[in-house]
Amino acid sequence: MNDLYDRMGHQFAALIEDEQDFIANCANCSALLMSEVEGLNWAGFYFARDGELVLGPFQGMPACTRIAWGEGVCGTAAEIGESILVPDVHAFPGHIACNAASRSELVVPMLWQGQVLGVLDLDSPQQDRFQAEDREGLEALVAILLGGSDLWSAFGSSG
């Protein structure tokens, strides 16, 4: 993991140290990503609800409110439970263009007790913006988010 994500991990862990509310922590995570990661035009979350992904806290232009499970990059990452790095979104079959300016995308699923809670989604207007080190750094950031949040209050009754 590179210095940027290492620093952001420490910063985010300190930011949520005294806050366990999952939604509040997601909001601060997306704000931190937009302020620290260069070349983004969108950073935010979608939450799994009744077989689809529903828009959560984000930074950037207004976005698609609902994405079907298995559709687009976000829905596919949620369906397979694995991160997806897309160098050119126009080459991704079934890509959903919530923002026509986006050229590359990185989606990291949030997994808890074997269940996909949702995804972290980053978009960039630059083709090939995201690399393996971005994926690794964001997976570590999601682990900090999940480890520092009260997931039972947010998701326990729906499982």
Domain ranges of the chain: 3-158
**Res 1 pLDDT > 70:** no
Residue whose entry in the numeric block shows the structure tokens 């397979």: 80
pLDDT of residue 157: 53
**Res 21 pLDDT > 70:** yes
Classify the C-alpha dihedral 66-71-76-78 as positive or negative: positive
For the stretch 88-130, pLDDT in tens is: 988 887 767 776 778 899 999 999 988 999 999 999 999 999 9
For the structural domain made of 3-158, what CATH number should be given? 3.30.450.40
**E-state strands within 15-138:** 42-49, 52-60, 66-68, 84-86, 104-112, 115-124
pLDDT of residue 90: 86
Look at the pTM and tell me if it is higher than 0.85: yes
